Amino acid sequence: MRLVAESLTAPGRRNTRPGAPRRVPLAPRTWHVRRGDVVAIFGGNAVLILVMWVRHGGTMNLGGTGSLLTAIGQITALEGTYAALVQIVLMSRSPWLESTFGMRAIAQWHRWLGFSTVVLICAHVVFTTLGYAAGDRTDAGHEAWTLITTYPWMLMATAATALLVLIAVTSLRVARQHLRHETWHFIHLYTYLAIALSFGHQLAVGTDLSDDPVARGYWVALYAAVILSVLAFRVLAPIRLSLRHDLRVDRVVREAPGVVSVYISGRDLDELPVRAGQYFLWRFMTGDGWWHAHPFSLSAPPNPEWMRVTVRAVGEHTHSVRRLTPGTRVIVEGPYGVFTALRRTRPRVLLIAGGIGITPLRALLDEMPRGKGAVTLLYRARTWDDVIFRAELDELVREHGGTVHYIVGRRGVDVHPEPFAPRFIRQAVPDVQQRDVFVCGPPPMEESVQRSLENLGVPERQIHREHFAYL
């Protein structure tokens, strides 16, 4: 039995450092993908697919209505499926993509591509059915029935289409408001099934693929690449990382009713490629918790002895975090996030936190400059219950010679309706234009802060934002 060596109430000595030498923050990956490269690859393939279709004589047979409809049906099928495959690559949580574009941009693209996919596939169904119906001189309903019951793999393809529609419908904003996140996520995962179900149909019936071995080979290679990237980044890399470092729960500290810090320890932690400000997707391997990946930021800078995350137990999942026992194995995906001290460009810094967004900022604080007034922290929370790390923040800021302002209360009731209006920021930080600003909080709050900062003339390159994408 290991007696605890930490106490959070020792004076003058911050307990987030266990006395071991601080590790040097890692330099960024030297090889990384450029935006242009990625866009070129994705766009290039889309064009390539179109070119292959033309090569097969797609444009030659556009005489009658039927052929025209069918042609459209073919193009929409090809590009629609391609869009779906691109999405899966985006969602593979590859650190390359993530560090190039940021999770937010990727999430936005995913959403746009997602709806495009469904629209294109539905269009494919409609146009192909109409096109064949015209060719066979029957009505659409009869043609549809024939297609489904006599063509191979069609039943599955139909099921796949139905699934895609279901997924799209449940992803509409209005639907998401009524669905629990877990339910939505569960349905969303059926995308993999839908794509798998349609694969057989594509190879068997896709007119462009069935006769041409090159096209077939290319199509299969596409699928293989996508599957491999998903396997590599979502399954293999996390397992490898977690096994190599033998990550396990070391202890769980109850900071206050409902607030819990989890310390994770392991082997060679100083070689974990993570920096303060980043987050992992944490999977705690308990009987009923293994399937949930929590996006928790490190709440203290990484060090050779442990990593720490701090959680407010609000829902069922975070509640289960409270019950973690020491020794539980931990699998991590990541690290993710570009919200690190590497982004700094100026000698002084302004940190703006909203709610749980304080977590990465608390970790970043350690790497912030020292000196009178070099660091200012604005911490917005709705109630004092939501304020965490009070003691650590006060102490850290004091050590750095900086200041912290707590803006706590309901907007319009306890605090001004616009707590981040330009004049308030300028009041707190007159030289904001000359500072790097790190912002982390709920998207609406970040938007409002961004607008104020732009209003105050803070250059775009000095504004750094992060938010937790629930992907």
Partner 1 sequence: MPIRGTIAVIATVIAIALMVSFKTPNVTNTHPANQPVAIGAPPPTDTPASGDTGSATATPNATSTPSATGYKDGTYDGQDVPNEFGDVQVRVVIKNGRISDVQALQLPSDRERSALISEQAGPLLHDEVIQAQSAQIDVIGGATFTSDSYAQSVQSALDKAHA
Partner 2 sequence: MHDAQRLRPRAPRTVRVEPVMGTVVSIDVRDREPDAALLGSALDAVVAWLHEVDARFSTYREDSEVRRISRGALRLVDAHPDVREVLSLCDEVERLSGGVFAVWRDGALDPSALVKGWSVERAALLLQRAGLGDFCIAAGGDVLVRGEAAPGEAWRVGLRHPDDAQSVTAVAVLRHGGLATSGLYERGGHIVDPRSGTVPSELLSLSVAGPSLTYADAYSTAAFAMGVDGLRWLASAAPGYEAYAVTAERHALWTPGFDRLLAPA
Name residue 60's amino acid.
M
159 binds partner 1 (CB under 8 A): yes
190 binds partner 1 (CB under 8 A): yes
DSSP state of 222: H
> 360: exposed, middle or buried (C-beta count within 10 Å: 0-12, 13-18, 19+)?
buried
C-alpha count within 13 angstroms, C-beta hemisphere, residue 127: 18
Q: CA 42, CA 147: separation in Å to the nearest integer?
A: 32
Nearest residue to 75 (alpha-carbon basis) of 220, 222, 206: 206
235 binds partner 2 (CB under 8 A): no
Look-up of token digits 């099928």: 77
Instruction: Render 90-139 in DSSP notation, one character per residue.
Output: HTT--HHHHHHHHHHHHHHHHHHHHHHHHHHHHHHHHHHHHHHHHHHTS-
155 binds partner 1 (CB under 8 A): yes
391 binds partner 2 (CB under 8 A): yes
* Segment interacting with partner 2 (CB under 8 A) among 272-280, 339-347, 408-416, 445-453: 408-416
Residue 159 contacts which entry, partner 2, partner 1, none (Cβ below 5-8 A, type-dependent): partner 1
Cβ(277)–Cβ(364) under 8 Å? yes
Residue 185 contacts which entry, partner 2, partner 1, none (Cβ below 5-8 A, type-dependent): partner 1
One of 66, 409, 442, 459 touching partner 2 (CB under 8 A): 409
* Segment interacting with partner 1 (CB under 8 A) among 96-104, 166-174, 188-196, 346-354: 188-196
Q: In what order do the strands lie in the sheet containing 259-265?
A: 248-256, 259-265, 307-312
257 binds partner 1 (CB under 8 A): yes
199 binds partner 1 (CB under 8 A): yes
CB of 307 to partner 2, least distance (A): 15
Q: CA 92, CA 98: separation in Å to the nearest integer?
A: 10
224 binds partner 2 (CB under 8 A): no
Nearest residue to 103 (alpha-carbon basis) of 360, 443, 450, 469: 469
One of 104, 218, 255, 405 touching partner 2 (CB under 8 A): 255
Q: How far is CA 387 from CA 6, 112, 384, 405, in A?
A: 22, 36, 5, 12
Q: Could you give the residue ranges of the DSSP H alpha helices within 189-336?
A: 190-205, 207-210, 213-230, 237-245, 316-322
Residue 435 contacts which entry, partner 1, partner 2, none (Cβ below 5-8 A, type-dependent): none
136 binds partner 1 (CB under 8 A): no
151 binds partner 1 (CB under 8 A): yes
Tokens of 8: 């959070």
Burial annotation 250-270 (CB, 10 A radius, 16+ → b, else e)? bbbbebeebbbbbbbbbeebe
* Segment interacting with partner 1 (CB under 8 A) among 199-207, 324-332, 395-403, 457-465: 199-207
Q: CA 139, CA 365: separation in Å to the nearest integer?
A: 68
User: Across-strand partners of 465?
Assistant: 439
CB of 180 to partner 1, least distance (A): 7
Tokens of 308: 């720490």
317 binds partner 1 (CB under 8 A): yes
Cβ(436)–Cβ(345) under 8 Å? yes
Nearest to partner 2 of 9, 30 (CB atom): 9
CB of 44 to partner 1, least distance (A): 28
Residue 23 CB neighbour total at 10 angstroms? 15
385 binds partner 1 (CB under 8 A): yes
Nearest residue to 191 (alpha-carbon basis) of 84, 115, 98: 84
- Site residues for partner 1, 85-114, by CB under 8 A, read none
Q: CA 352, CA 420: separation in Å to the nearest integer?
A: 10
Nearest to partner 2 of 212, 255 (CB atom): 255
Nearest residue to 184 (alpha-carbon basis) of 198, 199, 195, 169: 169
196 binds partner 1 (CB under 8 A): yes
Residue 7 contacts which entry, partner 1, partner 2, none (Cβ below 5-8 A, type-dependent): partner 2
263 binds partner 2 (CB under 8 A): yes
Nearest to partner 2 of 10, 47 (CB atom): 10
- Site residues for partner 2, 305-344, by CB under 8 A, read 322
399 binds partner 2 (CB under 8 A): no
Nearest to partner 1 of 112, 186 (CB atom): 186
Residue 9 contacts which entry, partner 2, partner 1, none (Cβ below 5-8 A, type-dependent): partner 2
Nearest residue to 76 (alpha-carbon basis) of 144, 150, 129, 155: 129
One of 7, 30, 149, 150 touching partner 2 (CB under 8 A): 7
Per-residue contact string for residues 266-305; x = within reach of partner 1 by CB under 8 A: ----------------------x--xx-------------
Query: Residues touching partner 2: how many (CB under 8 A)?
Result: 34
Q: Please report, as ranges, the residues that interact with partner 2 according to CB under 8 A.
A: 1-13, 251-257, 261, 263, 322, 383-385, 387, 390-391, 394-395, 408-409, 414
Q: Please report, as ranges, the residues that interact with partner 1 according to CB under 8 A.
A: 3, 149-156, 159, 180, 182-183, 185-186, 189-190, 192-193, 196-197, 199-200, 204, 257-258, 288, 291-292, 313-317, 319, 383-385
